[in-house]
Chains A and B, each alone.
Chain A
Amino acid sequence: MKRMRWLIALVAVFSLFAAACGSDGDSSSDGGGDGGDTTDDTSSSGDDGDDGAMEEGGEVATDFGVDAENKVIRVGVNGDLTGPFAALVNEIVTGQEVYWEVFNENGGYKGWTVEMETLDSGYATDVGIQNYETLAQESEEGVLMITENTGSPITAAIAEDAADDNMLVIPLSWASLWPDPEFGATILEKQATYCVESINGVEWLSTQVDDPKLAILGRPGEYGEDGSAGAKIAAEELGIEIVYDGTGAVAGDDRTGVIAELTGSGANIVWTTLTPGELLDIFGNAVSQGFEATWSGNTPSFSYPVMMPSDFAAEFDKYYFQSAFNAPWGAPGTEVIVEEMTARRPDLNISDGYTVGWIEGIMAETLITAAIDAGDMTRENMVALATSGLEVDFMGLSAPQSWPNDYNDALVRSTWIFDVDAEAFNIIPMGEATPENPGSSGLIPLEQDYIGTVAADYVFDGPCIEPSS
């Protein structure tokens, strides 16, 4: 027993550490601002000895992340492969991997092929910043552009460096900050923002009940605040009473307080901007206490691989509608994805996540091929092309998009609404799917490219949230 005193102290220190770790704050690092390398020398250098590449009589200027000799373009992924959003992100990354496999096997573009460098951030901002610095290095070991960067906190932390480095970044985050040229100069927001998604989602929810009374549940940080901000805009514009505003209230491992406030609020519609685990906890406990309302929330509050195996699948079917940015597995427009994914990854389960990876690939390919055609594949020219009004056609997977230097013009205002169908849920390996049994994520499109009255006309002053410092 003699050494118990230090052990007690050790336990206490560990407990406090655990409490701090478990508080779930989306603390964006403030260390990313000026930590990057000096990047003023990234100007086009097409006349350097080995920077140019001859192609069908044309020379392509390159600088970083491009092996001109072998005509290989490196793109990077800074993804959460092991953290809280790993379930979704792994599938998205796989989708993008297959996209480039198909691209390369079809001969690439004018002989150029794409190689993907994938790093795991675990959704830790400090690791994400380190990964960014690895991907942004100014050599062939770096990448031409980052085709996926998971999470609002990490994207916010690298945004300034990315602008300095002329590094295009496709965020796996729909924060309303990214279309702002002042903040996300090289961050290519894809699809709608969380804020717009919330505006559409709340408007749609309000049409499902009489006399809507809204409860808002959001976690701290850009993601939660952005989604909640959109819900409030919709409520204000539509005259919906907000009976519980839980913006930033969902933190920590015990959510009894939030559940108490929600169930006692009298809400009949609930908008959530949470992680799947948080939603499962709050939804499950609220339903178990007899709380009845119509629920929906920002992507990825609801994750079918997490929710459907739970004991609340039937309740999600009854009460929850998923908001989304693009088509689910098997919906019209996804035929090519289904075919290629099934042929190349037959052992993997069907997933809606592959579509997102495919969309990232389409964005990157559009930019890369335009740069090749322009004869300038420097990072600087990639940024110039992206902001030139170049439009990306997602072939029905999502609304077409361009990135002009105007906040309102750059916004995509359409989202999708899915019904949750627990009976239809049937995740099977892609190779086992048949026309009679194609498998399903249990998400059935109710509204495709839905634009509510508020989202259609709303003029934004800028992002719905301030970036956290």
Chain B
Amino acid sequence: MEDLLLLAQASASTTFIQTLIKALALGSVYIMMGLGFVIIFKGTQVLNFAASALSMAGAMFMSILIADGGIPFLPFDNPLAPGDGETAGIPLWLLTIAITMVLAALFGLVIERLAIRPMIGQPLFAMAVITLGVEIAIRPFNIDATALEGRSLGVPWGAESWSLGDALVPKSYVAAIIMALIAGAIVIVFYRSRFGVAMRAVAFDQEAAMAQGINVARVFQIAWALGVALAALAGIAYGMAPFPPGGSVSQEIHPVLAFRVLPVIVLGGLDSVLGVLFGGFAIALAEVFAGQYLSQYGSTLGPGYSTIVPYVVMLIVLVVRPFGLFGTPEIRRV
């Protein structure tokens, strides 16, 4: 009897560890995506509804570079790509991620120049709708690139796990957590830099910032470049097994990633980096732990109940703190 009890406890702790790691990894993906939202919002006051398509496009760039051995939009081979049937080593794979983020940043600059900048001075609502248009415009590229097959991301460790006692810890989950922590640290440092301060000044009052000699157009460019690069990073991280796409870019799964992140930025605050860091982990913990530990009530709670949990949290926060836990409250003159 005592042995059975010990076995049950061991099994419970194994499940807890695996659930915790999964939640932290999913939260890390949310954070990377959420940081992309926040940077663009802080710099331009625009909510980027094109984030899903941009994220998936970024993951596609990675797949083209590492698995196809090509270069996105260009008829050249990628000289750094591994040979046919070979898998990239970790250093090369990380270098390819960096190249992908640069390409995604350039893509962000193009979008900013073509779709966003002409809208400067227009109502913010119109600019948000423009980003919806960008989402729709990019989708055909993503669909054409993935419709007929899953696209490998060439993750060097594939679906391998480490053993932690009886618990299996996927290497990709640990990688996602590290990627998010690095991305968060870089963004925090960036906002403390001279340019980051300028970006915050533009977000606060564009005209006053211009009067102080800040180049607002440059701020817009940088915000979009960074935001799209982070979205691409999130798309790559989310593609790693055992995240749902299983090591590939998925037409079925990637397109909804950004929507899953919206509760994160509402919880943390649209303009708060710390809010995203907190919100990403909090939402993912709520979602994954509810999924794991309420599963026996699934027939009562309804299919897919854990997907709803983030939105329930979001609604509660909206009622209590409409600007999110870390967002800047709106000040009104009455």
Binding site for B on A (CB under 8 A): 1-8, 10-12, 14-16, 18-19, 21-24, 82, 84, 86-87, 90-91, 220, 248-261, 275-277, 280-281, 284-285, 287-290, 305-312, 315, 349, 427
Please name 21 pairs of A and B residues whose Cβ atoms are closer than 8 Å in the assembled complex, sorted by A.
Answer: A4-B327, A7-B124, A7-B128, A14-B49, A14-B262, A21-B256, A23-B304, A86-B147, A87-B251, A250-B304, A252-B306, A253-B260, A254-B287, A257-B306, A259-B291, A261-B298, A284-B241, A285-B242, A310-B150, A311-B246, A312-B247
Cβ distance B163 to chain A, nearest Cβ, rounded Å: 10
Complex-state Cα separation, A90 to B148, whole angstroms: 8
Contact A258 B298, beta carbon cutoff 8 Å: yes
Binding site for A on B (CB under 8 A): 15, 18-19, 22, 45, 47, 49, 67, 124-125, 128, 143, 147-152, 155, 158-159, 161, 168, 170, 204, 240-242, 244-248, 250-253, 256, 259-260, 262-263, 265-266, 270-271, 287-288, 290-296, 298-299, 303-308, 311, 314-315, 318, 322-324, 327-328, 330-332
Q: For A90, list chain B residues within 8 Å (CB).
A: 147-148
Q: For B266, list chain A residues within 8 Å (CB).
A: 8, 11-12, 15
Partner of A310, one of B147, B161, B246, B293: B246
Please give me the 3 A-B residue pairs with the lowest Cβ-Cβ distance, nearest first.
Answer: A252-B304, A256-B291, A311-B247
Given A12-B266, A251-B307, output 4 extra A-B contacts at Cβ < 8 Å: A253-B304, A254-B306, A257-B306, A260-B292
Contact A4 B328, beta carbon cutoff 8 Å: yes
Partner of A249, one of B290, B303, B315, B324: B303
Complex-state Cα separation, A315 to B159, whole angstroms: 10
Q: For B332, list chain A residues within 8 Å (CB).
A: 2
Cβ distance A46 to chain B, nearest Cβ, rounded Å: 44
Given A10-B128, A258-B295, check contact A1 B241 (CB 8 Å).
no
Given A14-B49, A14-B262, check contact A19 B311 (CB 8 Å).
yes
Q: For A288, list chain B residues within 8 Å (CB).
A: 159, 161, 168, 170, 241-242
Partner of B304, one of A18, A251, A306: A251
Q: For A86, list chain B residues within 8 Å (CB).
A: 143, 147-148, 251
Given A86-B147, A253-B260, check contact A310 B248 (CB 8 Å).
yes
Partner of A289, one of B18, B245, B260: B18
Which residue of B is nearest A312, CB measured? B246
Cβ distance B123 to chain A, nearest Cβ, rounded Å: 9
Partner of B244, one of A4, A14, A18, A281: A281
Complex-state Cα separation, A158 to B327, whole angstroms: 49
Partner of B307, one of A4, A23, A84, A276: A23
Contact B306 A306, beta carbon cutoff 8 Å: no
Q: For A2, list chain B residues within 8 Å (CB).
A: 330, 332
Cβ distance A118 to chain B, nearest Cβ, rounded Å: 15
Cβ distance B319 to chain A, nearest Cβ, rounded Å: 10
Contact B45 A311, beta carbon cutoff 8 Å: no
Q: For A3, list chain B residues within 8 Å (CB).
A: 45, 124
Q: For B45, list chain A residues within 8 Å (CB).
A: 3
Q: For A255, list chain B residues within 8 Å (CB).
A: 244, 291, 304
Contact B288 A254, beta carbon cutoff 8 Å: yes
Given A10-B47, A258-B295, A281-B244, check contact A220 B303 (CB 8 Å).
yes
Complex-state Cα separation, A311 to B314, whole angstroms: 34
Complex-state Cα separation, A277 to B150, whole angstroms: 10
Complex-state Cα separation, A213 to B330, whole angstroms: 58
Complex-state Cα separation, A11 to B240, whole angstroms: 28
Contact B143 A82, beta carbon cutoff 8 Å: yes
Contact B306 A261, beta carbon cutoff 8 Å: no
Which residue of A is nearest B163, CB measured? A290
Given A277-B244, A306-B250, A311-B246, check contact A253 B256 (CB 8 Å).
yes
Contact A254 B291, beta carbon cutoff 8 Å: yes
Which residue of B is nearest A253, CB measured? B307
Given A8-B266, A87-B149, A255-B291, check contact A18 B259 (CB 8 Å).
yes
Complex-state Cα separation, A165 to B246, whole angstroms: 45
Which residue of B is nearest A307, CB measured? B150
Given A91-B148, A254-B291, A284-B241, check contact A311 B158 (CB 8 Å).
yes
Q: For B327, list chain A residues within 8 Å (CB).
A: 4
Q: For A252, list chain B residues within 8 Å (CB).
A: 303-308
Cβ distance B243 to chain A, nearest Cβ, rounded Å: 8
Q: For B246, list chain A residues within 8 Å (CB).
A: 280-281, 284, 307, 310-312
Given A10-B47, A15-B259, A22-B259, check contact A309 B295 (CB 8 Å).
no
User: Looking at B298, B307, B331, which has the most chain A CB atoms within 10 Å of its CB?
Assistant: B307
Complex-state Cα separation, A86 to B142, whole angstroms: 13
Given A16-B311, A288-B170, A288-B242, check contact A275 B148 (CB 8 Å).
no
Q: For A306, list chain B residues within 8 Å (CB).
A: 149-150, 248, 250, 252
Partner of B330, one of A5, A10, A87, A275: A5
Which residue of B is nearest A353, CB measured? B148
Q: For A24, list chain B residues within 8 Å (CB).
A: 304
Which residue of A is nearest B260, CB measured? A253
Q: For B149, list chain A residues within 8 Å (CB).
A: 87, 305-306, 309, 427
Contact B263 A15, beta carbon cutoff 8 Å: yes
Given A253-B256, A261-B298, check contact A6 B247 (CB 8 Å).
no
Q: For A312, list chain B residues within 8 Å (CB).
A: 159, 241-242, 246-247
User: Looking at B152, B252, B308, which has the most chain A CB atoms within 10 Å of its CB?
Assistant: B252
Contact A254 B330, beta carbon cutoff 8 Å: no
Which residue of A is nearest B172, CB measured? A311
Given A22-B256, A258-B295, check contact A310 B143 (CB 8 Å).
no
Partner of A256, one of B247, B287, B308: B287
Which residue of A is nearest B37, CB measured? A11
Contact A11 B47, beta carbon cutoff 8 Å: yes
Partner of A11, one of B244, B270, B287: B270
Q: For A285, list chain B residues within 8 Å (CB).
A: 242
Which residue of B is nearest A306, CB measured? B150
Cβ distance B332 to chain A, nearest Cβ, rounded Å: 8
Q: For A256, list chain B residues within 8 Å (CB).
A: 19, 22, 287-288, 290-292, 295, 306
Contact A1 B256, beta carbon cutoff 8 Å: no
Cβ distance B152 to chain A, nearest Cβ, rounded Å: 4
Contact B256 A18, beta carbon cutoff 8 Å: yes
Contact B252 A15, beta carbon cutoff 8 Å: no
Q: For B259, list chain A residues within 8 Å (CB).
A: 14-15, 18-19, 21-22
Which residue of B is nearest A5, CB measured? B330
Contact A254 B262, beta carbon cutoff 8 Å: no
Contact B241 A311, beta carbon cutoff 8 Å: yes
Contact A19 B307, beta carbon cutoff 8 Å: yes
